[in-house]
Every structure is written in structure tokens, then in C-alpha cells.
């Protein structure tokens, strides 16, 4: 089975996000960037399939500026075979990423595409669903378990208050949730080996996709500062404050 995995370069999850002073977005200059955490889980799942022999080729795709190569190299160091970089300085939104992935799927004919359930920078949670719709393939989103057999993939999904299991006919799209697995750290020898693995570079134009945005960001604001809480001595005082100060009861 051939597996494609989508990896996005995002501001590292440990970085305290700062909004640009003109409110047009968040500061990304001189900020540590890393692979989207849900994509690390997607890569790990692909690498486990590769190790188990379920997959015989694993390809990582990233889209964005040239530095996305570093994100692909991380995936290669984790065990991915080769990379594809779709290089562009355009702001990419989920529909464009889904169209680009569809075009790559047309060239590579994978049996499975694994994405993260959500990118932690835009929090869209749209790309996997849009890709499945554009391809006309089945989708198993928020996967916490994946099993293969008889040309089918069985996906356990995390839903409100429980788990749902769906069976999809391959080819299919799966998006990885937090509990699917625990991604490995790349070892130094594998980081060295990854330097020799191939990365193909192309542009949205090469893939016949118009990357012009359809969405316009009007304003980005810092969340409001939370006021400090107060300690109350008794339940009666709490009820009094809720009734007369907060006026919520
Ligand atoms: P989103 O719909 O933006 O929350 O992203 C969901 C998933 O789509 C991510 O976890 C990635 O797997 C994939 N994705 C989104 N944008 C990109 C990108 N620029 N390059 C590669 N993969 C992406």
C-alpha cells in the first residue's frame, strides 16, 4: 500500500503567540517553527504501517515557503521514504491545500492519505474533509485507532461521549487525533540518513492549482485579559456575589 501523509509547518506549540501590532496576523519572524503536532501523529502512524509491512511506500507532503523542507526532513528522519514540497509564499487556506493534495494524489495514486485532524495555527479542521469530498473518497476523521484488512480500513473515531467505528473502502482519507499513537523522536543516525532522502519540489502552478486566497482575514486580536479571581469564605457569600455582583443567578 502507498501512503501519503500531509505535514504542515506551524509555530511551535510551546511558543507564546504574539499578535502583530497592526492586527493582520500573528508574529512568525524569529519564532520557533515545528511540525504540526497532529501531523507528527499522522507520520508516526504511517511509519508504523511501513514497519509492519502494511505500507510499502510512505511519502510526506508539505506546502508553503521553502523552509517547509525542514518539516519534511523531520518526517524523513522519523522513517518516511521521500518528500514532496509544494513551494509557495502565498497564504494557503484549507481549500487550496486540499486541491493541491488532490493534484498530488492524481500523480502518486496513494491508497491512503493521512492528515492531522487540525492545524494548531489556523485551527480550521477542514483540509482532510475537503480532500475526501474533492476526491469522492471515504473519510475517517479524528482517528484514535486504524486497522487494515480485505481492502478496507477500519477507523475508530473519537466522538462526544464515546467512540465510533467506521469501515472505509480504500482508497480513503484519515485524519489523526491525539490518542492514535505517541510519535517517536528521530534518532541522530536517522536524522543523518534523512539528509540523503529525496524531496521533489513543485509549485501550485505546476499542479494546475490557483493558490489565490478566497478568504480575507479582517482582524486578529489578543484574547481579553482575565480578571483575577477572589476567594470567598462561605457558600452564602458566593451566592451573594453571584446574585449581586456577577448577576448570573
Ligand atoms: P486544517 O484544516 O488547516 O486544520 O489542517 C488539517 C491538516 O491538513 C493538518 O494537520 C495537515 O495534515 C494538513 N495541512 C494543512 N495545511 C497544510 C500545509 N500547508 N501543508 C501540508 N499539510 C497541510
Looking at the domain assignment, is residue 237 inside a domain? no
Q: What per-residue confidence (pLDDT) applies to 226? A: 85
Residue 100 Cα to ligand 1 middle (Å): 11
Can you list the alpha helix ranges (DSSP code H) found in 30-136? 37-52, 68-78, 94-108, 127-135
Q: Which of 3, 6, 41, 96 to mutate to test the pocket of ligand 1 (most atoms within 8 A of CB)?
A: 6
Q: Which protein residue's CA is at the shortest distance from atom 17 of ligand 1?
A: 8
pLDDT in tens, 188-213: 999 999 999 999 999 999 999 999 99
Domain interval for residue 75: 2-219
Q: What per-residue confidence (pLDDT) applies to 229? A: 87
Residue 6 Cα to ligand 1 middle (Å): 6
Q: In CATH, what number is assigned to the domain containing residue 45?
A: 3.40.50.620
Residue 164 Cα to ligand 1 middle (Å): 23
Three-state SS at 35: strand
Ligand 1 within 6 A of 64 CB?
A: yes
Looking at the domain assignment, is residue 100 inside a domain? yes
* pLDDT class of 78 with cuts at 50, 70, 90: very high
How many domains does the structure of the chain reveal?
1
What is the model's pTM?
0.91
Of 66-80, 162-176, 210-224, the range with the lowest mean pLDDT is 210-224
* pLDDT class of 223 with cuts at 50, 70, 90: confident
Ligand 1 within 6 A of 104 CB?
A: no
Q: Which three cell numbers stand for residue 230?
A: 477572589
Q: Which atom of ligand 1 is nearest to the CA of 124?
A: 4
Question: How many CB atoms are closer than 10 A to CB 248?
Answer: 7
Q: Which atom of ligand 1 is nearest to the CA of 115?
A: 12
Looking at the domain assignment, is residue 24 inside a domain? yes
| Segments of 93-151 assigned E as strands | 112-116, 138-149
Instruction: Give the whole-angstrom CA distance, residue 166 versus residue 51.
Output: 24
Looking at the domain assignment, is residue 74 inside a domain? yes
Q: Could you tell me what percent of the chain has a pLDDT over 90?
A: 90
Amino acid at each position: 500500500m502507498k501512503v501519503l501523509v500531509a505535514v504542515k509547518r506551524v509555530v511551535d506549540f510551546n511558543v507564546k503567540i504574539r499578535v502583530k501590532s497592526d492586527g493582520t496576523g500573528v508574529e512568525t519572524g524569529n519564532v520557533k517553527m515545528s511540525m504540526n503536532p497532529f501531523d507528527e501523529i499522522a507520520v508516526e502512524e504511517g511509519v508504523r504501517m511501513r514497519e509492519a509491512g502494511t505500507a510499502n511506500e510512505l511519502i510526506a507532503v508539505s506546502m508553503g515557503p521553502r523552509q517547509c523542507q525542514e518539516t519534511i526532513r523531520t518526517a524523513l528522519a522519523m522513517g518516511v521514504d521521500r518528500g514532496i514540497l509544494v513551494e509557495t509564499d502565498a497564504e494557503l487556506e484549507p481549500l487550496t491545500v486540499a486541491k493541491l493534495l488532490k493534484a498530488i494524489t492524481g500523480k502518486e495514486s496513494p491508497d491512503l492519505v493521512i492528515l492531522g485532524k487540525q492545524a494548531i495555527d489556523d485551527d480550521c479542521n477542514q483540509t482532510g474533509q475537503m480532500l475526501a469530498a474533492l476526491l469522492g473518497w471515504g473519510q475517517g476523521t479524528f482517528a484514535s485507532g486504524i486497522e487494515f484488512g480485505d481492502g478496507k480500513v477500519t477507523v475508530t473515531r473519537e466522538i462526544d461521549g464515546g467512540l465510533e467505528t467506521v469501515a472505509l473502502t480504500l482508497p480513503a482519507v484519515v485524519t489523526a487525533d491525539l490518542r492514535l499513537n505517541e510519535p517517536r523522536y528521530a534518532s541522530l543516525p536517522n536524522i543523518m540518513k534523512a539528509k540523503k532522502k529525496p524531496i521533489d519540489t513543485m509549485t501550485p502552478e505546476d499542479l494546475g492549482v490557483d493558490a489565490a486566497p478566497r478568504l480575507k482575514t479582517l482582524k486578529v486580536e489578543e484574547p481579553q485579559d482575565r480578571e483575577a479571581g477572589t476567594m470567598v469564605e462561605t457558600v452564602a457569600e458566593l451566592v451573594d456575589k453571584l446574585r449581586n455582583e456577577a448577576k448570573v443567578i
